[in-house]
Structure formats: structure tokens, C-alpha cells
Amino acid sequence: MQDQLDKVRVVLVETQHPGNIGAAARAMKTMGLARLYLVNPRQFPSDEAEARASGATEVLAEARIVGSLREAVAECTLVAGASARPRKLAWPELDPRQCGETVMAASGECALVFGRERTGLTNAELDLCTHVVTIPANPDYASLNLAAAVQVLSYELRVAALAGHRPVREPEAPPATHEQLEQLYAHLQRVLADRGFLNPDNPEHLMRRLRRLYNRAGLDHNEVQILRGILTTLAPDIR
Ligand code: SAH
């Protein structure tokens, strides 16, 4: 079971209060998670984080500090963004239980991504996620403390792992990583923009729909190569 939990990284984006980083580390350790990624934390390392981590200081000691969300999830095949607010044109939306089961059933590296205390995750950051997970909370007061949200989703991962959820079988080809998909989307966007298919004033709109479409398909490594090959053949001048 531990190897199943070890494939999961918890990513905290631009956390403002170091105490929340410590409390998140503690929440993770209680559920058997160990891999913490911090995207541009305001203050870290910090005594307050250490104090709030209680006995989970090794999770902090081994935390990776990175400069962008994209870097934090580059090798991942599943990226679930935690958001209190439901979005328009939502990504496949999961509740915490489905999130635990979906992550445990995924092959490859997985990430749970949490936003800033005040403003959460931006739409551009949610674009980098394959799923959105919302904790069903009081609609008049739906925003949990960051570390409390980490606790709820980590708990559900553990429950799913204990129940034996795991990848059913090895896929034919490895699933595409986040970075491979980002390169495909960038290539597609260049070709579509150059050929006048994208609205130059709002290219994001169509690109978001295309991301959603490809996400649903669950592309593997070979399929990404095929799609990029098609683009290169049809538009050899654009790489
Ligand atoms: N005011 C922010 C919420 C920030 S809370 C907003 O409206 O988006 C900090 C982070 O905790 C959020 O970005 C999210 O990742 C997580 N979180 C808090 N409440 C949540 C909920 N009900 N469901 C899912 N994630 C939640």
C-alpha cells in the first residue's frame, strides 16, 4: 500500500503563511504521504512551519521548492486541483472520495494541487490540471483552511489505498506525462494560430476546450507522438 501512496505529491501554490505549510506536512504524514512540493512559498524554511509540523519535520526537510506549477507536476499523469468554487466549463469534477479512488487507480505519478489562502488557484493554473476536486462544504462558507483541505483529501487517498484501489493492469504504453501534453498543446496552438483557426483575441477559449477533449481521451505516450507527427506533416514549417 505504501508504494501506492508514494506515487502522490502534494503541491502547495504560493502559500502565504508558513504555519499552513507545517500543518499541511503534519496532515500528510498522518495519512502516510511524504512528498511535498512548494511553488514559490512566501516564507520557507521557517520556524513557524517547523512548529506547526509537530513530528512531521522530515516532510518539510525533504520538501522540494520549485518556481512554477508546471515544473512541480511535469512528470505527472494525473493532476487534481483542489478548488472550493465550481468553475464554468469545468474539468472532470470529483468529490473527495472519487478523487481518492481515481488517484489510486491511476498509473504513474499523481499530484494534488492546492491554491493560495486568499485567492485559491487561478484559471490558468486549473488549465494545468486534469481534474478538479471540490470538498462539498457549507455553500455559505465553503472555503476550508488550506491544511484542513490537505487533511481531507489525504485521508480519502488513504481510505482508497486501504480499500485496495490500485491500477488494474499495466497500460499498453505509458500514459502521457503532463510535460508531454503541454508540449502537444503548445504545438497545436502554434499551428492553429498560424492557420487562423484560433481567435487571436481569445485563443485560451478554444485551447481550454481542446485540453478538456484530450484529457477525456486519456492519451498515452505513443498517441501524443502520433498527434505531433500529424501536426508536423501538415504544417512542416511550424515546430
Ligand atoms: N478563497 C479561496 C480559497 C482558498 S483556501 C477561493 O475562493 O478559492 C486555500 C486552498 O484550500 C484552496 O485553493 C483549495 O486548494 C483548498 N480548499 C479550501 N476549501 C476547499 C474546498 N471546499 N474544496 C476543495 N478545496 C478546498
Domain boundaries of the chain, sorted by first residue = 2-162, 178-234
**CATH superfamily, with its number, for domain 2-162:** SPOUT methyltransferase, trefoil knot domain (3.40.1280.10)
Strand order in the sheet with 78-82: 64-66, 35-39, 8-13, 110-114, 78-82, 131-133, 93-94
Q: Lowest mean pLDDT: which of 129-138, 143-152, 196-205?
A: 196-205
212: its cell numbers: 478538456
- Give the residue-averaged pLDDT of 57-66: 97
For domain 178-234, say whether CATH 1.10.8.590 is its number: yes
Task: Evaluate whether 2-162 and 178-234 have a shared fold.
Answer: no
CB of 114 shorter than 6 A to ligand 1: yes
CB of 85 shorter than 6 A to ligand 1: yes
Q: What is the DSSP letter of 174?
A: P
For ligand 1, pick from 146, 150, 151 the residue to mutate: most ligand atoms within 8 Å of CB: 146
Ligand 1 center to residue 135 CA distance, Å? Answer: 9
Can you give the pLDDT at residue 170? 72
Q: What is the DSSP letter of 187?
A: H
| pLDDT reading at 230 higher than 70 | yes
Question: 188 pLDDT band (50/70/90 cuts)?
Answer: very high
